[in-house]
């Protein structure tokens, strides 16, 4: 199976030895996205709502580069540093999925890169 690296300047550069996304067959697997502004490579100002919004914008940019949308997403992994942020994250997250809600796992973790409050990765299919 061939694989293709997906990269866009509209999402943050990788901050380690990984790709923004990989297309393998009909699947696209994104790296976890944190709340980095792609222009500054810094965490956006604000709380969980602002950070979730930035994460979803970053993911949308990667999906668009792969010629996909949130409607093509089949699995999502969400990592939060605080359970108390779950409902506010969910409020913003739900704006990006209409009727094609993917399977999802949400995990509470001790810490995330660069002090982000949220990290999200996706799997989408053509």
CATH number, domain with residue 76:
3.30.1330.40
Q: Rounded distance, CA 37 to CA 54, Å?
A: 7
pTM over 0.85: yes
Average pLDDT of the chain, as a whole number: 95
- Does pLDDT of 99 surpass 80? no
Burial letters 77-98, b for 16+ CB under 10 A, else e: bbbbbeeebbebbeebbeebee
Please tell me the total count of domains within the chain.
Answer: 1
Q: How confident is the model at residue 98 (pLDDT cuts 50, 70, 90)?
A: confident
Quick check: helix, strand or coil at residue 44? Answer: coil
Instruction: Express as a percent the part of the chain with pLDDT over 90.
Output: 92
Q: Mean per-residue pLDDT for 95-107? A: 91
Domain range enclosing 60: 3-125
Give the HSE-up count for residue 100: Cα atoms under 13 Å, Cβ half-sphere. 10
Chain CA centroid to CA 24, Å: 18
């Amino acid at each position: 199976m061939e694989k293709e690296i997906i990269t866009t300047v509209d999402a943050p550069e990788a901050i380690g030895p990984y790709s923004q996304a990989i297309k393998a067959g009909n699947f696209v697997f994104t790296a976890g996205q944190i709340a980095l502004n792609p222009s500054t490579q810094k965490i956006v100002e604000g709380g969980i709502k602002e950070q979730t919004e930035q994460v979803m914008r970053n993911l949308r940019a990667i999906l668009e580069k792969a010629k996909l949308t949130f409607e093509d997403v089949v699995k999502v992994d969400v990592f939060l540093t605080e359970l108390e942020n779950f409902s506010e994250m969910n409020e913003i997250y739900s704006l990006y999925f209409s009727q094609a809600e993917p399977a999802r796992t949400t995990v509470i973790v001790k810490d995330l890169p660069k002090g982000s409050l949220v990290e999200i990765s996706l799997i989408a299919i053509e």
